[in-house]
Chain A
Amino acid sequence: MNITLSIIYLIATVTFVIGLKLLGHPETAKKGNLIAASGMGLAIIGTIFLHNLEVPNFIYLLIGAAILVGAIIGWMIAIKVEMTKMPELVSLFNGFGGASAALIGIVEFGSNLGNTTQMITIIAAIVIGSITFSGSMIAWAKLNGMMWKDIRLPKYNIINNLFFIGLLAFSAYIVWSNIDSNIIVYLLLLAALIYGILFVIPIGGADMPVVISLLNSLTGIAAAITGILYGNMVMLVGGILVGSAGLILTFAMCVAMNRSLGNVIFGAFGGGGEAVAVGTSKTGGTVKKTTASDAAVMMNYSDKVIIVPGYGLAVAQAQHVIHELEELLTKKGVEVSYAIHPVAGRMPGHMNVLLAESNVDYDKLIDMDDINPQFKNTDVVLVVGANDVVNPAAHNDPSSPIYGMPILDVEDAKSIIINKRSMNPGYAGIENELFFNQKTSMLFGDAKAAIQELLTELKGM
């Protein structure tokens, strides 16, 4: 390999490590992102121009065209996307990375027959890349609301696991039999794509933060494997860094839900039917409805208000009105903060990004462990579009599927206002006894409209 290129790859690798490191602190994150991006740019330009191959001009032209087209598309998507759509976007890009790795594997298959080492990496790139691609596309569709229901085949666990074992066996067979057949590769591709679909389709919306992190990690691994194929260090290290970052986030999300990774993937939430039955028999009772003006009065005369945002806030795009509400209350001398559950929303840190978009001071966003002791001294908790993360069943109903999950202890507050569209249970499909609590009043309606009304009432006071 060209020595200049090797040095460029080395520099790029270092920028990746430094970039990721800097991304871990609020003050340096932006710099970190730019450093990693410039390293990537160097690596791409170097790869195109610094080699000792005889390459006809039209191939350069094709590469240039591909980069131009892709860069424009990527840029347009990135500047246009709404912050509420971040989980969708990350899934989409993720899928593209996976697809790219799978395509590389397919092309390289024909030229590496007979070489077991290469073959292992090629087959792995095809399988992991395709699973990531189809899995991410399903995640994307689900997040976009195109697939609201979690589709579960009967005995999907067994089917999925058998399918997965079959996929591994098929891959091993291709590696060791040295079959020179494109049809076999396409079959493998198809099987891997199907597995990706089977893998994500039964996973519930509440588990999406875990799935997205996991798929993110898999794309990294796919990139690292193609790196091994080419003996290319920048791909190897870059890919592995992403792989471990994704895994750490995945486990962090699992811890936040008190569930093991296996439990998420192999679906314990599947028992939704029974769980609802148990839940309903326990709760019952009536809910207390309230109006915007009553809620406004309550908040106006309190000293401390905590806002608990959830996915409903994102869906209704209510991040701006909620910030207005917070500012108005603060002006009236009420102490306001936000309680952020680690898995609120559909991806890790989803709520933080939304509220940052509407300019909420990030000192006001308080993590679960820090805010839980504060609920006792809180006059009003306003829950906007959150459900499972405030469900007391996690503490006191051992039969509940979310039992043991750390939650925001909103029931400790003096009064609770819950904004929801209707009485439908949350994504996990579990009844929430908090709604029936004496201290709770329900403010029904779309989050944006309801908060807007609340704001108007407050302004008049």
Chain B
Amino acid sequence: MTEFIEFIKNNLELLYILILAIFIGVEVIKHIPAVLHTPLMSGANALSGVVIVGAILVMLHADPNNYLALALGFIAVVLGIINVVGGFAVTNRMLQMFKKKKK
């Protein structure tokens, strides 16, 4: 229990942001037309690739002699950037198709 209270105390700001972000997320995405469900999903998917920032931090902080950490960090960066680049690119491709017949 003390750990729990300690946790809240140390992370109060983060908790505020966390909770407010949940509300923003819900409000922003509510009432999205069905046409856009797939692009929204793949766009959101690309956003979750933001985890790559953490992967880069792992590599920056790693002890240069710790090859295991560097190797795992390397894989994490590769996977993260595939998620980001692939996700945004494919979303763009999809939306281009929607655009064409708008005229």
Interface class of chain B by DSSP: helix
Which residue in chain A gives the minimum CB-CB distance to B49?
Answer: A97
Listed A/B pairs (14) with beta-carbon separation below 8 Å = A20-B47, A24-B31, A30-B99, A33-B88, A44-B52, A74-B83, A94-B48, A97-B45, A235-B53, A241-B25, A243-B22, A245-B25, A353-B94, A359-B101
Which residue in chain B gives the minimum CB-CB distance to A226?
Answer: B54
Minimum CB–CB distance for A357 against chain B, Å: 5
Identify the interface centre among B10, B36, B45, B87: most chain A CB within 10 Å of its CB.
B45
The interface residues of chain B lying within 8 Å CB-to-CB of A224 are 18, 21
CA–CA, A69 and B81, complex, Å: 9
Contacting A at CB under 8 A, from B34-54, are 34-54
The interface residues of chain B lying within 8 Å CB-to-CB of A296 are none
Q: Indicate which residue in A29, A78, A117, A350 contacts B95 across the interface (CB closer than 8 Å).
A: A29
Please give the number of chain A residues whose Cβ is less than 8 angstroms from any Cβ of chain B in the complex.
Answer: 111
Stretch from A192-200, A340-348, A442-450 at the B interface: A340-348
Minimum CB–CB distance for A135 against chain B, Å: 14
Judge whether B12 is part of the interface by a CB distance below 8 angstroms.
no
In the complex, the answer to whether B29 meets A245 with C-beta atoms within 8 Å is yes
List residues of chain B with CB under 8 Å of any chain A CB: 3, 6-7, 10-11, 14, 17-18, 21-22, 24-26, 28-62, 64, 68-70, 72-102
A33-B91 CB under 8 A given contacts A17-B28, A40-B46: yes
Q: Indicate which residue in A26, A83, A97 contacts B102 across the interface (CB closer than 8 Å).
A: A26
In the complex, the answer to whether B54 meets A44 with C-beta atoms within 8 Å is no
In the complex, the answer to whether A19 meets B43 with C-beta atoms within 8 Å is yes
CA–CA, A237 and B77, complex, Å: 20
CA–CA, A235 and B84, complex, Å: 13
Identify the interface centre among A21, A53, A234, A237: most chain B CB within 10 Å of its CB.
A237
In the complex, the answer to whether A238 meets B28 with C-beta atoms within 8 Å is no
In the complex, the answer to whether A213 meets B41 with C-beta atoms within 8 Å is yes
CA–CA, A224 and B54, complex, Å: 10
In the complex, the answer to whether B41 meets A216 with C-beta atoms within 8 Å is yes
Judge whether A227 is part of the interface by a CB distance below 8 angstroms.
yes
